[in-house]
A = this chain, B = another copy of it.
Amino acid sequence: MWFASDNTSGAAPEILEAVVRANAGYASSYGEDAAMARVTDRVRALFEAPEAAVYLVATCTAANALGLACLCPPWATVYCHRRSHIEEDECGAVGFHSGGATLAPLEGAHGKIDPGKLALALEAGASASVHNVQPGALSLTNTTEAGTVYTPAEVAGLAGQARARGLPVHMDGARFANAVAALGCAPAELTWQAGVDVLSLGATKNGCLGVEAVVLFDPRRSREFELRRKRAGHLFSKHRFLSAQIEAYLDDDLWLRLAKRANARAAQAAAGLAATPGVRISHPVEANMLFASLPAAVDRALQAAGAAYYSWPDPQAVATADGERVSVRLVCSWSTEAADVERAVAIAAGAMAPLP
Write the residues of chain A forming the contact surface with B, with a CB cutoff of 8 angstroms: 2, 4-5, 7-11, 16, 19-20, 22-30, 57-63, 65-66, 73-75, 88-93, 95-97, 99-100, 102-103, 130-134, 204-205, 209-210, 224, 226-228, 230-238, 240-241, 308, 335
Contacts and interface: CB of A to CB of B under 8 A. Distances in A.
Contact of A23 (B10, B58, B97, B133): B10
Q: How many copies does the complex hold?
A: 4
A102 B100 contact: no
A234 B23 contact: no
A18 B308 CA distance: 25
Closest 7 CB pairs of A and B: A62-B233, A7-B237, A99-B99, A61-B233, A91-B231, A10-B23, A2-B26
Contacts of A226: 130
B237 A132 contact: no
A95 B133 CA distance: 11
A91 B132 contact: yes
A291 B227 CA distance: 28
Given A5-B29, A62-B233, 7 more contacts: A10-B22, A10-B27, A62-B234, A90-B233, A92-B133, A93-B230, A204-B237
Given A27-B8, A238-B7, A224 B91 contact: no
A228 B75 contact: yes
A60 B29 CA distance: 13
Given A91-B131, A95-B102, A238 B224 contact: no
